[in-house]
Structure 1
Amino acid sequence: MEKMMPIGLKVLDCFKIIDETFIHSMLESQLNKIDKKIIVLDDDPTGIQTVHGISVYTDWTFETICQGLGEQNRMFFILTNSRAFTIDETTKVHREIAQNISLGAKKMEKDFLIISRGDSTLRGHYPLETQILRDEVTVATGKVYDGEIIIPFFKEGGRFTIDNIHYVKEGDRLVPTGQTEFAKDKSFGYYSSHLGDFVEEKTQGQYKRQDCIYITLEELRDVRIDEITEKLVKATNFNKIIVNAVDYIDVKVFAIAWASAVLRGKEFIFRGAAAITKVLGGILDKPLLKKEELVVEGYDRGGLIIVGSYVNKTTLQMEELRNCSYPIAFIEFNQHLALQLGGLEKEVKRVIALAEAEIINGRTVTVYTRRERLDLDTDDKDKQLKISVEISEAITRVVEDLTVQPRFIIAKGGITSSDVGTKALRVKRALVMGQIQPGIPVWMTGEESKFPGMPYIIFPGNVGEVSTLRETVESLMG
């Protein structure tokens, strides 16, 4: 495997500039010709980090899917949280979802497009999830999928694909993903930064690097829409289509070609990060949310910040939070007590008692997991995932058993924010209000939730600069 080196950020400015107004007009015209409801299956709650005014459902029953299909919006999300699932669990869930989508679409007489929204750093149950979706939908409806479009670009999080190599922004450098901490993930690790190699690695050679279809930045910046369309039209047998992108304009040009191929009868499933949902959903930019939209004036309780993510960026952001301009109480949650019988239960009660006392007195609280990961001495990925889920469930209890409503709630980390939203806050359907910072979305909770009509801030573990968490909290407390 070829050795890849980090590159400087200046490379992002080296590509041809094109007329965005013209491209946007062409894209809208093409999208309006596509009569498909876009169903986004989100493997953790952070996939809504580029959209607003969109529904997020936290179950996938036939009734819920029919409700989503019946909405006026072009798109809706279903939060599966499958990144917290074992292989068996995500297999069962995706079969059920595919069957319910197929039945719901038949009842509602609506065609559909599935986007499997995965992590922009390539972690998750891939290719398992899209393969199951393809197989089950084909059996249920006869729909034949010609290709799978892979597009992990996510500008807000600093994820870029150049010459088929996927990069993560770290400081003033772009680092190939296979050389980052994300590639060393205990459950979803990988070696390859070249997306063709990644496909070959993850499919265990079923799909080869040399057989993938590549959409280059040169083609996109030259607006060679007919040429890109012809590439897509030639896709068969669920072949993989790798899309390079360094800015939203690249995704928009590609989407025009995709729409042209669809209008010629081609069918695709997407595996991508949050950027593709914004573009295909026709979501316009919206200013970042302000304190006045998120905090009730005069409410004198403290806020609550839950930090479960272990990635290095989260740890650095949390340490920077200690420099907040406003007083914050820090309470460590010792997840290593999971190894003791009843240890987590006792820890939950201890932390709740401390947190409630601070919140009632108007002080914001940060509850954070001990920074040393609890990694089991095993190669069993499902066993490691299960202990992570047990810890997340315990952290979730801190919110679930609260007897006082905080001024605001921020949850940091994918599994953590999903469990807090669905289990602790008991949200069944939320409205995406927008973002408080780039890539950091906010739900408005429904009437059925523990705290109805409350903004809930979902802060991904791997997004933002070192100062972003502190700045977010200061904007809410100021």
Structure 2
Amino acid sequence: MLSSELLSNYPPEVQIPAYAVSDVVAASGRTLVVLDDDPTGTQSVADLPVLTGWEVEDFRWALAQHAPAIYVLTNSRSLDPGHVGQCNREVVTNALAAAGSAPLGFVSRSDSTLRGHYPLEPNIIAEVLEEVSGDHIDGVVIVPAFPEAGRVTIGGVHYVRGDGDVLTPVAETEFAQDATFGFRNSELAKYVEEKSAGQFPASEVIALDLNTVRGGTGRIADALVPARDSTPIVVDIVTENDLRALALGLDEAERRGQKLLYRVGPPFVRARIGQEPRPPLTAAEAYAGTLPASSGGLVVVGSHVGLTTRQLHRLTENHPLSRIVEIQVENLLKDEKTAAAELDTAADTVVAGLAEGDVVVHTSRVLVKAGDPAESLRIARTVSAAVVDVVQRTLARKPPRFVIAKGGITSSDVARHGLQIRHAMVRGPMLPGVVSLWEPVGGPAKGIPYVVFPGNVGNDAGLLDVVRTLSSHPAPTGTL
């Protein structure tokens, strides 16, 4: 269905400047702690600190940046439920300890196509907040919309935009067939009931449609009054102005005394803190303050969604590459000797290739699936560990000029383990509203721009465009 048809019965969006939100955020003095279940959530924001570790000292560093939000890369989408609960508990506990009396808010950032550990993660956050600070959560605000990437919610139904402005209910897309996080319902209230196994019946979910979202701050806050005991609250969102309107309504509800958590897609935080969308970074901005190496850039591709495969094909067909290295997943899953030989060959080829130009290393494009979600996660972790191993060896022998990691689990593990990034600053997007560039703070990757590229965003030329931008900046002669 066309979006124009779905929107015909709703009022137009209300124009709201970003500063209208940032002013109320500044007045509250509150910092949002964003538990990001993979690093792609940073793609919609700029100039914010990001952590891949969450000890109390990590939070003290992040809070000292005096930013309105802090991202914490939990990578929980790649974990089993037991470890998900543990890491969420640690993050919230340590953030509260580091903040002391300073006010914090908590955001559970997840996928705009509804994949992830819901309702486990907001449930754990709510439990810890009650145990540690005595705060009893009234409502969990669920906002998966990501307008720049074509994910919108209208009439309580979540859609993915395709060609010609055609909207497809998300449960009818490939994302709903995810081996670990598959689902059947596009209507968010029913999705909540499905994923919570009836803990939250659809009939008890509060739904804010566009009439409410576009009806003013007071109307939004009034609609949240019935929320009690972590009531799920699903929200229609089509534009950035809708997100800002919601932000003002949520702030009003919280000023009235309600305690809220957020389960959201990437752009929510930008709107909630009143940050303007940043234009894509230029090559000069991406390398600002660094001395680019003369070696080539490294592009690491782990995602298997169809869009990633098309983007990879467009890159390899249209950009001069010194090497294209394919890691055979089947070999990784055999015996240790076969897996070790596969990684030795891959690392040697990447290092040799970087001396001549840009290199792509990708996993084989045939997705190896298992019969159950736990085994699928195990395979995904095995493959990601192999990619990390190649990146670690490369960094030690031939530091690349830039690194791009494609896919959620891939980009998380490359950042935390491959490049050993613990603290970084998110500098901004490489494409309009999507694909973030991190500046590592300290560690072996300092001075190497790191690009987090989700598997399911951008058009077919998106990866090519980012590589061309980062390759276009001249490297000084005589550098490594």
- TM-score bin (small chain): over 0.9
Distance in 2, matches of 1:24 and 1:472, equals 27
The answer to whether the aligner puts 1:351 opposite 2:346 as a matched pair is: yes
- Measured against aligned partners, the alpha-carbon deviations of 1:274-308 in whole angstroms (never above 9, x if no partner) come to 11110122222322111122357774321111100
The question of whether the paired residues in 2 share the 8 Å contact of 1:196 and 1:212 is answered with yes
> What is the one-letter code of the residue matched to 1:409?
V
Structure 1: tracts of 5 or more residues without a match: 1-6
> Aligned match of 1:268 in 260, 264, 271?
260
Q: 1:126 aligns with which of 118, 126, 134?
A: 118
Alignment-derived partner of residue 211 in structure 1: 204
Alpha-carbon distance in structure 1 between the residues aligned to 2:5 and 2:55: 46
Conserved? CA contact 2:152–2:159, under 8 Å = yes
CA contact (8 A) 1:356 1:404 kept: yes
CA distance in 1 between counterparts of 2:339 and 2:236 reads 45
Matched to 2:375, the amino acid is K
Contact 2:293/2:400, CA 8 A, preserved across alignment: no
Equivalents in 2 of 1:74, 1:349: separation in Å? Answer: 44
Please list the CA deviations of residues 350-393 of structure 1 after superposition, one character each: whole Å capped at 9, or x if unmatched: 011111111112x21111111111112x22x1222011101101
Count residues with an aligned counterpart.
464
Q: Equivalents in 2 of 1:85, 1:398: separation in Å?
A: 22
**C-alpha distance in 1, partners of 2:451/2:438?**
7
**Other-structure match for 2:478:** none
Q: CA offset at residue 134 of structure 1?
A: 0.4
Look up the equivalent residue of 2:409 and give its one-letter code: I
SS at match of 1:301: coil
Match of 2:282 among 276, 287, 290: 290
Does residue 141 in structure 1 map to residue 133 in structure 2? yes
Name segments (4+ residues, structure 1) moved above 6 Å.
none
Percentage of pairs with the same residue: 32
- After TM superposition, list the pairs within 5 Å mapping 1:5-16 onto structure 2: 7-11=1-5, 14=8, 16=11
Instruction: Establish whether residue 422 from structure 1 lines up as the match of residue 412 from structure 2.
Output: no
Deviations 1:192-226 (A, max 9, x none): 100000000011111111111111112223x3322
Match of 1:189 among 142, 162, 182: 182
1:363-374 mapped onto 2 (5 Å cutoff): 363-374=357-368
> What letter is aligned with 1:374?
V
User: Equivalents in 1 of 2:292, 2:414: separation in Å?
Assistant: 25
Aligned Cα RMSD in Å? 1.8
Matched, 1:101 2:95: yes
Q: Deviations over 1:228-287 (max 9, x none)?
A: 211112211110110110101011111111111111110000000111110122222322
* Matched position secondary structure for 1:271: strand
Q: Distance in 1 between the 2:167 and 2:195 partners?
A: 23
CA distance in 2, matches of 1:12, 1:365: 45
8 Å CA contact retained: 2:22, 2:274: yes
Determine the C-alpha separation between the residues in 1 that align with 2:221 and 2:253: 6
1:337 CA drift (Å) = 1.1
Residues in 1 aligned to 2:293 and 2:362: alpha-carbon distance in whole angstroms = 24
Question: Is the alpha carbon distance of 1:232 and 1:278 closer, same or farther for their aligned partners in structure 2, counting shifts above 3 Å?
Answer: same
Instruction: Rate the CA distance shift 1:451–1:82 in 2: closer, same or farther, 3 A.
Output: same
Alpha-carbon distance, 1:26 to partner: 3.8
Counterpart amino acid of residue 428 in structure 1 = R
Residues 413/32 of structure 1: CA separation in 2 closer, same or farther (3 Å cut)? same
Determine the C-alpha separation between the residues in 1 that align with 2:89 and 2:292.
Answer: 48
Give TM-score scaled by structure 1 length.
Answer: 0.93
Cα distance in 1 between the residues matched to 2:169 and 2:208: 19
Q: Secondary structure at the match of 1:109?
A: coil
- 2:467 corresponds to: 473
Aligned-partner Cα distance in 1 for 2:295–2:62: 35
Q: Residues 71 and 327 of structure 1: is their aligned pair in 2 closer, same or farther, counting only changes over 3 Å?
A: closer
| Aligned mate of 1:432, from 426, 434, 443 | 426
Find the counterpart in structure 2 of residue 302 from structure 1.
296
Amino acid at match of 1:169: R
Contact kept? 1:305, 1:365, Cα under 8 Å: yes
Alignment of 1:237-386 (within 5 A): 237-295=229-287, 299-342=293-336, 343-361=338-356, 363-376=357-370, 378-379=371-372, 381-386=373-378
Aligned equivalents of 2:31, 2:177: Cα separation in 1: 36
Please give the TM-score of this superposition, normalised by the length of structure 2: 0.93
Cα deviation, residue 328, structure 1: 4.9
- Tell me how far apart the structure 2 counterparts of residues 282 and 227 of structure 1 sit (CA, whole Å): 20
CA gap of 1:401–1:11, structure 2 versus 1, over 3 A, is farther
Contact 1:58-1:428 at 8 Å conserved across structures: yes
Deviation per CA, 1:454-474, whole angstroms, max 9, x where unpaired?
210111000001111112212
Partner of 1:4: none
Distance 1:453 1:37, change over 3 A: same
For residues 142-157 of structure 1, the aligned pairs below 5 Å read: 142-157=134-149
8 A Cα contact 1:429 1:445, kept in partner: yes
2:318 counterpart SS class? coil
CA distance in 1, matches of 2:335, 2:162: 40
Q: What residue number does 1:202 align with? A: 195
